[in-house]
Amino acid sequence: MITIVSKQAAREQLNHIVEVIEQEGVQAHIAHAPDHTVVGMIGSIKPALVERLQQLPGVEKVEKVSKSYKLASREFHPENTVIQIGDVKIGGGELVVMGGPCAVESAEQIDEIARLVKAAGGQVLRGGAFKPRTGPYSFQGVGVEGLIMMAEAGKKHGLLTITEVMTPEYVDICAEYADILQVGTRNMQNFDLLRKLGEVRKPVLLKRGFSATYDELLNAAEYILAGGNPDVMLCERGIRTFESYTRNTLDLSAIPVLQHLSHLPVISDPSHGTGRRELVEPMTRASVAAGADGLIIEMHTDPDNSMTGDGVQSLFPDQFARLLRELEQLSPIIGKS
């Protein structure tokens, strides 16, 4: 059960509402969303308490949201969330394509890839400056320099940028240079990071943990929303299953299920979802057919010599361009522009 308090309510009114809830032995948890304050209530909530709350000044409504995540649920927010960044709208019926290398390697590399992403019709340049690697001896990314290189390439070629942030301390600097902040699969439940992302005014792409359920992903998104940042997109990037032919199993059902449970845009990552270049194109088409609001796809000019060694899942530039041409034809058929 939640109580929605108007943004105009005075601090004393909010304090009084919390007092009334707690007097009944119910726990109150406050989250400041952009248009209102939400007071989550945990405990046995009697009808008399609901009636009393409904009469208090500042209370807009008292609602039952059956899910553990509230702000992320469609029950709470029936309309789709549309995230607008410049002229790009994510979740609003346009198919958004984010493309680029696994990692930023040099200014020349990211500039050339940005040119190719733009020429193919992509809207967002992807690239990691800080890389979460399984082993400590693998290339860890070029760091802040990479953020600067990517911001310059994005600006020069008219693309938005997305990059991964791994720790709360780096959120501000990543937010200074990138248009979208990515939370990687390994950090989906890094709650300090999620809380910090709730405080920034930059959209967040939250990747599903490789062994996380939909419920866990939506609760992770709730941390960001409850912190006051409404611009969260969810990303299906494959989960770990018993199948070892593919790096992960891209769970296509996640796309319609998450769209049913939540109003947040859903992005698919067929590169990490399969780990195999030859599967990226068919799984991109399948993601679009399943209703994805956007895609995040790895593309590299020299995948076989990429510094992360993840080139096997990166498309060559001509494959990326061909895929985007195909999507232009496919999108209108399934109601996307």
Rule CB under 6 A: say whether 272 interacts with ligand PEP: yes
Q: Which is nearer to ligand PEP, 122 or 184 (CB)?
A: 184
Rule CB under 6 A: say whether 36 interacts with ligand PEP: no
φ/ψ (deg, to 5) at 127: 170, 135
Distance CA 6, CA 190 (A): 30
By DSSP bridging, strand 96-100 and strand 124-126 are: parallel
Distance CA 213, CA 99 (A): 26
Contact 110, 100 (CB under 8 A): yes
Residue 165 CB, shortest distance to ligand PEP, in Å, is: 11
**Would you call 14 exposed, middle or buried from its count of C-beta atoms within 10 A (0-12, 13-18, 19+)?**
buried
Residue 190 CB, shortest distance to ligand PEP, in Å, is: 12
Closest by CA position to 295, among listed 251, 327, 322, 317: 327
Q: Which is nearer to ligand PEP, 70 or 164 (CB)?
A: 164
- Helices 317-333 and 107-120: crossing angle, nearest 10°? 30
Q: Which is nearer to ligand PEP, 36 or 300 (CB)?
A: 300
Select from 91, 128, 141, 146 the one that contacts ligand PEP (CB under 6 A).
128
Distance CA 293, CA 291 (A): 6
Query: Percentages helix, strand, coil for the chain, rounded to the nearest 5?
Result: 40, 20, 40
Range 6-35, binding ligand PEP (CB under 6 A) = none
Q: Which is nearer to ligand PEP, 222 or 269 (CB)?
A: 269
**Alpha-carbon separation of residue 265 from 82, 203, 292, 320 (angstroms):** 7, 11, 8, 23
Residue 298 CB, shortest distance to ligand PEP, in Å, is: 8
Q: Which is nearer to ligand PEP, 185 or 319 (CB)?
A: 185
Select from 70, 118, 196, 207 the one that contacts ligand PEP (CB under 6 A).
207
Residue 19 CB, shortest distance to ligand PEP, in Å, is: 43
Residues in contact with ligand PEP, total (CB under 6 A)? 10
Distance CA 150, CA 129 (A): 9
Select from 99, 184, 303, 317 the one that contacts ligand PEP (CB under 6 A).
184
Q: Which is nearer to ligand PEP, 293 or 310 (CB)?
A: 310
Residue 162 CB, shortest distance to ligand PEP, in Å, is: 9
List the x/- string, 133-172, binding to ligand PEP by CB under 6 A.
-------------------------------x--------
DSSP string covering 220-252: HHHHHHHTT---EEEEE--B--S--SSSSB--T
Q: Which is nearer to ligand PEP, 196 or 207 (CB)?
A: 207
Angle at 57 between CA 24 and CA 1, to 5 degrees: 45
Rule CB under 6 A: say whether 185 interacts with ligand PEP: yes
Distance CA 177, CA 189 (A): 24
Contact 218, 206 (CB under 8 A): no
Q: Which is nearer to ligand PEP, 76 or 177 (CB)?
A: 177
Closest by CA position to 85, among listed 179, 157, 181: 179
Range 80-109, binding ligand PEP (CB under 6 A) = 102
Residue 315 CB, shortest distance to ligand PEP, in Å, is: 14
List the x/- string, 227-266, binding to ligand PEP by CB under 6 A.
----------x-----------------------------
Rule CB under 6 A: say whether 118 interacts with ligand PEP: no
* Interacting residues toward ligand PEP by CB under 6 A: 102, 128, 132, 164, 184-185, 207, 237, 269, 272
